[in-house]
Amino acid sequence: MFIKSLLPWIKALIFFSVSWCKKRKDSGSTANHFIPSTKCPTVQQFINMHSGPELKLDLQYSYIFLMVFTTFTYGIALPLLFPICAFGMFNLYVSEKLQFAYLYRKPPSYGGELNLGALDLLAKCPFFLLFFGYWILGNRQEFFNAASEKVHASDNTDPGHKLFMYKEGPDYTMIFLIFIPIFVFFEYIIIAIRFISYKIGCWH
Residue 93, C-beta contacts closer than 8 angstroms, at least 6 positions apart? none
Record the pTM.
Answer: 0.70
CB 105 within 8 A of CB 53: yes
Q: Are 186 and 140 in contact (CB under 8 A)?
A: no
Considering only CA atoms, give the Rg of the chain: 27
Q: pLDDT tens-digit profile of 67-126?
A: 999 999 988 888 899 999 999 999 999 988 888 888 787 766 677 778 888 888 888 888
Say if residues 115 and 29 touch (Cβ distance below 8 Å): no
Q: Which of 128, 111, 1 is CA-nearest to residue 57? A: 111
Q: Where are the domains of the chain?
A: 2-119, 124-145+159-204
Q: Which residues contact 38 (CB under 8 A, 6 or more apart)?
A: 26, 27, 46, 49
Instruction: Name the nearest CA neighbour of 68 among 117, 136, 122, 134.
Output: 122
- Residue 161, pLDDT above cutoff 60: yes
Handedness of CA 15, 16, 19, 22 (dihedral sign): negative
pLDDT digits (tens, 9 = 90+) for 139-149: 766 666 666 67
